[in-house]
Amino acid sequence: MADSDNKLAWITGGGSGIGKALALALDQQGWQVVISGRTEPKLQAVAEQGRHIVYLLLDVTDRAQNLAVFNTLCEQYGLPNLVVLNAGDYTPMPAEAFDLDLIYRLNQVNYLGVMNGLASVLPAMTARQSGQILLMSSVAGYRGLPDAAPYGATKAALINFAESLHRPLKAQGVMLRVVNPGFVTTQLTAQNSFKMPAQITTTEAAKRIVQGLDSDSFEMTFPKRFTYVLKVLRCLPYRLYFFLIGKITGK
C-alpha cells in the first residue's frame, strides 16, 4: 500500500471536543483512528460511535508513557501518517490572580505534552521520510491577550517551535504544521464569561481540519472571518495593539 493510502491517524485528546469530532470525521472518511487521553469512559464512548476508532490510554505529561503508547500503536496498527497532538488544557488567569501552579500545569500539558508526543513520533517519521504532524495551537498564541497569559504563552511556544522545525523537517519528508482555531464550543471555552465572537462547533472545526489535510501550508486557521482580524492585530506596533485590545476587551 502506498503511504498516501495508509490512512492511519493518532489523535491525542480524542475523548472530547475538537479531537473527538476530528476522530469521527476521519472515521467517516475511512481512516483507522487511534485516540488517546486519560479518561477511559470518554475514549470508549468515542470508539463505540465510530467504525474504525480504537483507543490507548495516555497522560501526555508522562514522557515514558508517550513513547510506550506510540510503540504499542505502531506494533498493533503500523506507523501513522497523520498525528494530531491536540490534547490541551485551559483556565483563564486574571492578572490579579497570578497562579504559578496553573502556569506549570498548562506548560506540562500544552507545551511539554506536545514535545513528548513529537519526541516519540519524529524518529520513525523522519526514518520513513513521510507523515504529517499537526500541533493544536490557537490564535491565542498570536499575541498576548488579557486573562489568557498561561494558556497563550504555551500556544505561542508551539507556533514558534513549529516555525523553527517546519522547513528542515519538510526536507526530510515530514510535514509539521500548526492548527490555530478561533473559538470552538467545547468544555474549555465554556469557562469563558465573555462573549466569544465567531464561535464555531467542533464538527465545523473538524471539517476545516480534514479539508486542510491535503494542503501543504504551514498553518490551518479558522474561521477566517475572526482569525484574520487577529492576524492584522498581530502586525500592529505595541502601542496601537494595546490600545485596540484594551478597547475590544475592556482590559
Ligand X SMILES: NC(=O)c1ccc[n+]([C@@H]2O[C@H](COP(=O)([O-])OP(=O)(O)OC[C@H]3O[C@@H](n4cnc5c(N)ncnc54)[C@H](OP(=O)(O)O)[C@@H]3O)[C@@H](O)[C@H]2O)c1
**76 φ/ψ sector (left φ>0, alpha ψ -120 to 50, else beta):** alpha
CB closer to ligand X out of 120 and 186:
186
- Work out which of 26, 89, 147, 161 binds ligand X, going by CB under 6 A: 89
Q: Is 42 exposed, middle or buried (0-12, 13-18, 19+ CB in 10 A)?
A: middle
CB closer to ligand X out of 15 and 223:
15
Smallest separation, CB 237 to ligand X (Å): 26
By CB under 6 A, residue 33 contacts ligand X: no
CB closer to ligand X out of 6 and 233:
233
Q: Is 232 exposed, middle or buried (0-12, 13-18, 19+ CB in 10 A)?
A: exposed
Bridge-partner residues for 14, per DSSP? Answer: none
The yes-or-no answer on residue 111 being catalytic is no
By CB under 6 A, residue 117 contacts ligand X: no
- Work out which of 9, 10, 11, 17 binds ligand X, going by CB under 6 A: 17
By CB under 6 A, residue 90 contacts ligand X: yes
The one catalytic residue among 55, 90, 151, 238 = 151
Strands 53-57, 175-181: parallel, antiparallel or unpaired by DSSP?
unpaired
> Sign of dihedral through CA atoms 140, 146, 150, 153?
positive
Do 225 and 237 form a contact (C-beta atoms < 8 A)?
no
Which of 198, 200, 220, 219 is CA-nearest to residue 209?
220
Q: How far is CA 16 from CA 34, 131, 220, in A?
A: 14, 24, 20
Residues numbered 149 to 188 that lie near ligand X (CB under 6 A) are 181, 183-184, 186-188
Residues numbered 201 to 240 that lie near ligand X (CB under 6 A) are none
* Region from 22-30, 53-61, 167-175, 216-224 binding ligand X, contact rule CB under 6 A: 53-61
As annotated, the active-site residues are 151
| Contacting residues toward ligand X, per CB under 6 A | 12-13, 15-19, 37-39, 42, 58-61, 86-90, 109, 113, 136, 138, 181, 183-184, 186-189
